Structure 1
Amino acid sequence: MASTFVRDIRACLRFYSRLPVPLGDDGHAMPDFARVSWAAPFAGGVIGAIGAGVVLIGVFLHLPSLVVAACAVGALTLATGGLHEDGLADLADGFGGGATREQKLAIMRDSRLGAYGALALCLSLLLRVVAVAATLDRSALLAAFAIVSASALSRAVGLIPMIALLPARIDGAGASAPTPSSSAMRRALLIGSIIALAPWLFGATLAQTVVAQIAAMTATLAVTKLAQRQIGGYTGDVLGASQQAAEIALVVAISAA
């Protein structure tokens, strides 16, 4: 069981990040989400710990809150190679620039960044940086664990479109990924929710922590509903945007005084 536990987390880390994770015998780019999706929040927590570490180092160096927050969000983006940000930008370009379902899907597949995508990226980065900086002004540990919590829970709820919708196209990353099993998804949501209780231990109230989790879930459901209306299903970009929406919602909710 221990070897399976490590292997599943390693598979999710290899997919979600650019960290030098050993491939092992089961190495492949797309993890078997039907089996390993339960480990997504653990992988997210590891990624979030990188941003949390940057926060603590920045505070030790007495850097301004905004500088520390910008470095922390930058570290998260570097750790993932902008995987989810790319999905958010493509979704914004497709949904904003396409008139028909086919046009939206075509634009989302285009690697070029458009105006809607650029605006979405700027807003995403700005919201996260300002939210982390505002939380940092209250407590360095609260800001650090808010990042870990958001990173963990968002990887769990970010898979919800795969459960609620069908693939919007027959090819692509979204269609090729196995759908998480109901048991694995329940475990992922439970683990993510437990990790996301961390802010309660470091300065946030229980009510605020629960509201932050609800906000993350609501943001993901909103992206899921939007994808259903716009393209009739999910793609890899929808999953990336779903994760980003959940992460933003959680850190913003925790930043509320």
Structure 2
Amino acid sequence: MLKRFVHELRLLLVAVQFLTRVPVPRWVGFEAGWLNECARHLPLVGLGIGAFGALVWAAALQVWPPMVAVVLSMAATVWLTGGFHEDGLSDTCDALGGAVGRDKALLIMKDSRIGAYGALALALMLGLKASTLGGLAQHGAWWPALALVWTHAASRAVAVALMRLLPYAGDIEHAKAKPLALSVRSGAVLVAWGWVLLATLLMVMLSPFADPWARLLPAMLAAGLACALVTMVCARWYRRRLGGYTGDTLGAAQQFSEAAALLAWLAVVHQA
């Protein structure tokens, strides 16, 4: 039992090392297979990333107007992850934005330069997320904080689901993170979404609102449906254009699902 706990803790720390700038203890070590195994804990790391953004939001709100606090919270999460997913978004949009074949698209993804499609996608995505969080802030300071935590977790569970639904589209031998080019097991997807479900239940139980069932739970359910929709759309899109996923397309899916989930949150809260 203890050995299993230590192994899962090691996998969690490997996931932290993979997704963020946070240093991990030396005793964690590294084995190639762990990178594939740790996929089930990516949403848990996402919870931490979202919580960091929420803390920056709360602190900045004491000094600056809400929109400034929103931008600072987004900047904090981008800094913490090193722009990992945003880079994937720009590469994916550069590759799939035009009418090019599969092989050409994969070559474009490997190019470190950013093109018009990638630049537009980044600008629109950051602007959309900032305006959505700003819209949530109009309904109370808690809404952006809770949305940041939940959407950062759920959007990474979307990436894990795509790793199960699709084969790897690129050259496995030259993949940047070769173990992630191997399909994850169904159990990993269940664990990943289990973390999201656990976060949902805890947020409802510890909610600062008098009646969390009225708006908070419906907002999370709507966001969950948005994530499911993005998963299906991305799966079909990536299969049709590339025959599967790459690391960049997983990053793009995280960004798409995060934005979709935020829009769903705002739709429910605003209508209520």
Structure 2 length as normaliser, TM-score?
0.87
Secondary structure in 1 matching 2:24: coil
Per-residue deviation, 1:23: 4.1
Show CA shifts across 1:112-147 (max 9, x none).
000000011011101111111111221222211110
Partner of 1:141: 142
Partner of 2:212: none
Per-residue deviation, 1:4: 2.6
Aligned residue among 18, 21, 24 for 1:21: 24
Aligned residue among 4, 8, 18 for 1:5: 8
Distance 1:133-1:31 versus aligned 2 partners, 3 A rule = farther
Show CA shifts across 1:19-47 (max 9, x none).
122243423688432x2222111111111
Amino acid of the structure 2 residue aligned with 1:188: A
Q: Is the 8 A contact 2:90 2:122 kept in 1?
A: yes
Alignment of 1:174-253 (within 5 A): 176-177=179-180, 178-196=182-200, 200=204, 201-202=207-208, 204-253=215-264
Distance 1:232-1:247 versus aligned 2 partners, 3 A rule = same
Partner of 1:78: 79
Amino acid of the structure 2 residue aligned with 1:250: A
State the alpha-carbon separation in 1 of the partners of residues 241 and 5 from structure 2.
42
Secondary structure in 1 matching 2:100: coil
Q: Is the 8 A contact 1:18 1:79 kept in 2?
A: yes
Show CA shifts across 1:189-222 (max 9, x none).
1212332456653553422220111102211321
Structure 2: gaps spanning 5 or more residues: 210-214
Distance 1:103-1:162 versus aligned 2 partners, 3 A rule = same
Structure 1: gaps spanning 5 or more residues: none
Identity %: 33
Secondary structure in 2 matching 1:18: coil
Alignment of 1:108-127 (within 5 A): 108-127=109-128
Following TM superposition, where does structure 1 have runs of at least 4 consecutive aligned residues deviating by more than 6 angstroms?
A: none
| RMSD of aligned residue pairs (Cα, Å) | 2.0
State the alpha-carbon separation in 2 of the partners of residues 98 and 106 from structure 1.
14
Per-residue deviation, 1:160: 1.9
Secondary structure in 2 matching 1:166: coil
Per-residue deviation, 1:5: 3.3
Amino acid of the structure 2 residue aligned with 1:234: Y
State the alpha-carbon separation in 2 of the partners of residues 30 and 83 from structure 1.
21
Partner of 1:43: 45
Distance 1:110-1:98 versus aligned 2 partners, 3 A rule = farther
Amino acid of the structure 2 residue aligned with 1:91: T
Amino acid of the structure 1 residue aligned with 2:88: G
Range moving further from structure 2, 193-202 or 119-128: 193-202
Show CA shifts across 1:36-84 (max 9, x none).
22211111111111100011102222x1111111111111111000110
Per-residue deviation, 1:242: 1.0
Secondary structure in 1 matching 2:22: coil
Aligned residue among 40, 56, 62 for 1:60: 62
State the alpha-carbon separation in 2 of the partners of residues 7 and 154 from structure 1.
22
Q: Is the radius of gyration larger for structure 1 or structure 2? A: 2
Distance 1:66-1:30 versus aligned 2 partners, 3 A rule = farther
State the alpha-carbon separation in 2 of the partners of residues 121 and 174 from structure 1.
23
